[in-house]
Amino acid sequence: MSESSAFNPFEAAQAQFDRIADLMGLEANARRLLRSPAHEHHLAVPVRLDSGEIEVFSGFRIQHNDARGPAWGGVRFHPQETVDTVRALAMGATWKTAVADIPLGGSMGGVVCDPHDLSPAEQERVCRSWVRRVARTIGPMRDVPSPDIMASSQHMTWMLDEYEAIVGEHAPGAVTGKSIGAGGSKGRAEATGYGMVYVLREALRERGIEPGATTASLQGFGLVGRHAMDLYTTIGGTVRCVAALDSATGRPISVSRRDGIAVAELLELSDRLGGIDGGRAAERGLVLDDGEAWLAADVDILIPAALEHQITEANVDRVSSRVRLILEGANAPLSEAAEERLAGRGVDVIPDLLANAGGVICSYFEQVQSGMNYYWTQSEVLSKLDLKLTSAYLDVSRFAKAKGLSQRDAAMVLAVDRVADLCRQRGWL
């Protein structure tokens, strides 16, 4: 199977859905309903820059399906964002909430910009302007934004404040991933990264492997990557290589050390958006290499925790022959062709629908707490998260074994079946 150089993430998501629909024998009306988003909002987001000039950024909010509950999905800031990426991620959010078996649907949004090029005041204006454009379509019982790439708790708190100013009342459940003082959940910052390791722990347990006997290579040192690295090394694993953007040049780099890298030393070399100072890393004795060197690291586990479509047919041959497991921390980081090639080599993939579902589960917990105006301790949140993700992993693993499916296909079948079933119950089908 070959891949087009003009990769379209939404077409890939639809192709995956079509394959699963064929596998399930899904009826035609259900296919038409679930194959495309229910609502799309294409936005012009005007922002006054510090210079006094007005810049109009492109923005999106796309709601794929809300049969199982209010839509939920990230907001990302990225200069290369496209509407088809947002469509694909909105669809993926629908399946992710269904696999986790929580009462939410799927959406996604963002602004085409690079926060590195904007002052904090300009970033605040971007957040508030985006909310003004979508305020009629979001809300605790409609669609709940959550932080995604290059979006922080501060960004989400600005968004919440703007939304509350528009509706004229406190509505802490309207946004998740906000600061603790604004009604955020303890444990939310750690949720996606820790959730990845909870799932990895179960996968290793099924295989009779102790975490302390494994090594890993990680792409991405943002909020997700750094917390995944933290918990993985805490339970005994060794991270040999980390890839990120060089905070000095903006170019992708990999830093490595064969006997392991400590989270603490990378935190000293990183910025708040996950960039790593390559020059200083080299001075500390870390080996500096190109942005794809993480693929070739001599490790047991690869953890792509950055952007989608990072392991493709074009670079899959760089993956070390030692790798036996890939944990998808990012959304859709493997192309279908690359996954087929890796499967032929005996590499198992824990799909994004499971691996990075910790964020959506904790967002749901945050919504629940905001609605009650009663907040749990961090240990309570992470304990509930562990229980929920372990249950989801075991559901998928058992179904995969019973039906002879890969974990990705098993997760998709469970998700599509749950969403389609509720669409039928509602009379939509």
Q: What is the pLDDT of residues 221-242, one digit of tens each?
A: 988 999 999 999 999 999 999 9
pLDDT score for 14:
96
* Sheet bearing 287-290, strands edge to edge: 287-290, 252-256, 238-245, 215-219, 301-304, 325-327, 348-350
Give residue limits of the domains in the chain.
37-179, 190-355
pLDDT score for 4:
46
Using DSSP, how many helices (H) and how many strands (E) does the chain show? 14, 12
The DSSP 8-state label assigned to residue 286 in this structure reads P
pTM of the model: 0.88
User: By the 8 A CB rule, do 202 and 357 touch?
Assistant: no
Helix (H, G, I), strand (E, B) or coil at 254: strand
- Rounded CA-CA distance 209/246 in Å is 34
- Rounded CA-CA distance 92/107 in Å is 8
Token digits of residue 175: 């946004």
Distance from chain centroid for Cα 338 = 20
Token digits of residue 155: 């960004």
Sign of the alpha-carbon dihedral angle for 338, 343, 347, 353: positive
Integer-rounded Cα radius of gyration of the chain: 21
Residue type, 25: G
> CB-based burial of residue 369 (10 Å sphere; 0-12 exposed, 13-18 middle, 19+ buried)?
buried
Per-residue pLDDT reduced to its tens digit, 50-103: 999 999 999 999 999 999 999 999 999 999 899 999 999 999 999 999 999 999
- Rounded CA-CA distance 62/371 in Å is 24
Inter-axis angle of helices 378-403 and 407-425, to 10 degrees? Answer: 100
CATH match of 37-179 with 3.40.640.10: no
Residue type, 17: F
pLDDT score for 309:
86
- Report the candidate in 428, 411, 359, 364 with the shortest Cα–Cα distance to residue 105: 364
Q: Do domains 37-179 and 190-355 have the same CATH topology?
A: yes
> CB-based burial of residue 35 (10 Å sphere; 0-12 exposed, 13-18 middle, 19+ buried)?
middle
Provide the pairing of β-strand 143-147 with 71-77: parallel
- Rounded CA-CA distance 380/398 in Å is 27
Per-residue pLDDT of the chain (429 residues; tens, 9 = 90+): 344 457 899 999 999 999 999 999 999 999 999 999 999 999 999 999 999 999 999 999 999 999 999 999 999 999 989 999 999 999 999 999 999 999 999 999 999 999 989 999 999 999 999 999 999 999 999 999 999 888 999 999 999 999 999 999 999 999 999 999 999 999 998 999 999 999 999 999 999 999 999 999 999 998 899 999 999 999 999 999 999 998 888 899 999 999 999 999 999 988 876 889 888 889 989 999 999 999 999 999 999 998 888 999 999 999 999 999 999 999 889 988 999 999 999 999 999 999 999 999 999 999 999 999 999 999 999 999 999 999 999 999 999 999 999 999 999 999 999 999 999 999 999
Query: What CATH topology corresponds to 190-355?
Result: Rossmann fold (3.40.50)
